[in-house]
Amino acid sequence: MDLSFADADLAFQQDVRGFIAANVPADIRRAQSLNPSVFSEPDIITGWQKALHEKGWAAPGWPQQYGGPGWSPAQRWIFETECAHAGVPSISPMGVKMVGPVIIGFGSPEQKNYYLPRILSGEDYWCQGYSEPGSGSDLSSLKTRAVRDGDHYVVNGTKIWTTHAHHANRMFALVRTSDEPRQQDGISFILIDMKSPGITIRPILTIGGDHEVNQVFFDDVRVPVTDLVGEEGKGWTYGKYLLEFERGAGIASARLRAALNTVSTLAGSEITGRAVEDPDIALRLSEIEIDIDALEMTELRVLSAMQNGENPGAVSSLLKLRVSEIHQAVTRLGVDVIGHDGLVVEPMRPLHTLNHKPAVADQILPVMPKHLNGRAYTIFGGTSEIQRDIISKLVLGL
């Protein structure tokens, strides 16, 4: 066993560094560092997405035949780590990491030919239509209906908490196409054009003051039958497949480490009155760093197993649980580090294009909103309570 990288991997690391340096200008890094939401606003990521696409690096996890770069797990690791430490904007996962794998796994040849290139280029911006007002943790109780009418489905109902529905031109959605004894049956996975007549979007502000999520209403929205993925009524299987991708993003420790480094720098700075001199802050920095070490080792163990062809299994829930908890520990420490300045509210958005001078420094500005919005980490993609249930079933056999 060995933690060091082979020479070829080190050469690749240099390539990645060069590529990032050439394609992520300082203003974009600044915008990303000031982004307090869970996802980056599209205007921050388009340039980077385009560069990645031209280089053939837009979808690290995809098979090469669909446009993946054909990287080894070590290369993927290096790429994610370099991106994290350079403060590169995060590409929205909804296309590349969520709907992409479903289309690759279950889509028709036409769907693959049409949608996959548009995901890679960023031409399509996707949102995820799963949750409904009455169906959160108990997702398969969902009620939004799609009724067959000739070559179309007619969709009625509502989705809620839809991240970036106001930016997206496409939604992948779980809808009910028939009533079956088991509520997981009769659900279908369809692709919806967000410009279709009958769709209205109501913005919902998050606790940090950001417009990130929405409620989406469907009023007789017509969706071509060709936009059904896989078989009618099998949507639950595809949806769950996708959730595993959503949860076990695989390489999250690098972003967490970068976030902790940011907090650590702040703690050593005069602008926080050198918070690190408070022994409590110093200990917590170490404690969280060690948590990240443990997470990173688990991720490496999984990657290594996958390299040998093994299936990661229920570990995706374990990773999701720890990543979200560690994320919240980091943002919380950030709040304690900035001390008095945590009381300062900057209501204007986006933070990287304010047209007035805020009451606190750039480094402090996003700390509190990140913490507030960060409370969502233990809720979206399946709450921590639900992850613990899954782990207790799949890992412990309870």
Partner 1 sequence: MDLTPSDEQRLLRESADRFITETYTAKLREQNAKEPHGFSAAIWRQFAELGWLALPIDEAHGGIGGGAIEIGILMEAFGRGLVSEPYLATVVLGAGLVAQHGRAEQKAAILPKVADGSLHLAFAHSERAARFDLARVDTVARQVADGWVLDGGKVTVLDGRAAQQIIVSARVADGGTLRLFLLPPDTAGVTLTDYPRLGGGHACNLDLENVHLPADALLGDDSDALPAIEAVIDRALAALGAEAVGMMQTLLDTTLAYTKMRKQFGKPLAANQVVRHRLTDMSVHCDEARSMALRAALKADAEPRERGRAASGAKAKIGKGARFVAEQAVQLHGAMGVTEELDVGGYFKRLLAFETLFGGSNHHLRRHAALSGRPSN
Please identify every residue annotated as catalytic: 246
Quick one: 291 or 341, whose CB is closer to partner 1?
Answer: 341
Task: Tell me the DSSP string of 77-117.
Answer: HHHHHHHHHHTPPPPPHIIIIIIHHHHHHH--HHHHHHHHH
| Contacted entry of partner 1, ligand FAD, none for residue 163, CB cut-off 5 to 8 Å set by kind | ligand FAD
- Give the shortest CB-287-to-partner 1 separation in angstroms: 13
**What are 383's two structure tokens?**
């709450």
Quick one: 53 or 176, whose CB is closer to ligand FAD?
Answer: 176
Neighbours of 192 (CB within 10 A): 26
| Contacted entry of ligand FAD, partner 1, none for residue 101, CB cut-off 5 to 8 Å set by kind | none
Note whether 131 binds ligand FAD by CB under 6 A.
yes
Quick one: 6 or 348, whose CB is closer to partner 1?
Answer: 348
**Quick one: which segment of 68-76, 181-189, 329-337, 375-383 binds ligand FAD (CB under 6 A)?**
375-383
Q: Which residue has the tokens 């009381």?
A: 343
- Give the shortest CB-389-to-ligand FAD separation in angstroms: 6
> Containing H/E element for 118?
helix 109-121
Closest CA to 87 of 48, 126, 43: 48
Question: What is the C-alpha to C-alpha distance for residues 126 and 168, in angstroms, rounded to an integer?
Answer: 5
| Contacted entry of ligand FAD, partner 1, none for residue 128, CB cut-off 5 to 8 Å set by kind | ligand FAD
Note whether 35 binds ligand FAD by CB under 6 A.
no
Quick one: 40 or 272, whose CB is closer to partner 1?
Answer: 272
Identified binder of ligand FAD from the candidate list 231, 280, 310, 385, rule CB under 6 A: 385
- Asked if 147 and 121 count as a contact pair (C-beta separation under 8 A), the reply is no
Distance between alpha carbon 341 and the CA centroid of its chain, in Å? 29
Counting Cα atoms < 13 Å in the Cβ hemisphere of 9 gives: 15
From residue 240, alpha-carbon distances to 17, 38, 53, 93, 245 in Å are 35, 22, 28, 16, 9
- Give the shortest CB-109-to-ligand FAD separation in angstroms: 27
- Asked if 159 and 133 count as a contact pair (C-beta separation under 8 A), the reply is no
- Asked if 228 and 153 count as a contact pair (C-beta separation under 8 A), the reply is yes
Note whether 262 binds ligand FAD by CB under 6 A.
no
- The DSSP bridge pattern shows strands 228-229 and 211-224 to be unpaired
- Give the shortest CB-311-to-ligand FAD separation in angstroms: 24
Map the footprint of ligand FAD across residues 327-356, applying CB under 6 A: none
Map the footprint of ligand FAD across residues 183-242, applying CB under 6 A: 213
- The DSSP bridge pattern shows strands 187-193 and 211-224 to be unpaired
Quick one: 272 or 331, whose CB is closer to ligand FAD?
Answer: 331
SS3 259: helix
- Asked if 193 and 66 count as a contact pair (C-beta separation under 8 A), the reply is no
Question: What is the C-alpha to C-alpha distance for residues 102 and 165, in angstroms, rounded to an integer?
Answer: 19
- Give the shortest CB-188-to-ligand FAD separation in angstroms: 15
Identified binder of ligand FAD from the candidate list 112, 380, 390, 391, rule CB under 6 A: 380
List all residues 6 or more positions away from 268 whose beta carbon is below 8 Å from its beta carbon. Answer: 274, 276
How many residues touch ligand FAD (CB under 6 A)?
20
- Give the shortest CB-57-to-partner 1 separation in angstroms: 33
Identified binder of ligand FAD from the candidate list 49, 92, 144, 162, rule CB under 6 A: 162
**End-to-end Cα separation, the chain, in angstroms:** 33
Quick one: 46 or 383, whose CB is closer to ligand FAD?
Answer: 383
| Contacted entry of partner 1, ligand FAD, none for residue 346, CB cut-off 5 to 8 Å set by kind | partner 1
- Give the shortest CB-38-to-ligand FAD separation in angstroms: 6
Interface residue list for partner 1 (CB under 8 A): 131, 135-138, 141, 160-161, 204-207, 209, 213, 270-273, 275, 278-280, 335-336, 339-347, 359, 368, 372-373, 375-376, 378-380, 383-385, 388
Q: Which residues bind ligand FAD (CB under 6 A)?
A: 38, 127-131, 136-137, 161-163, 213, 376, 379-383, 385-386
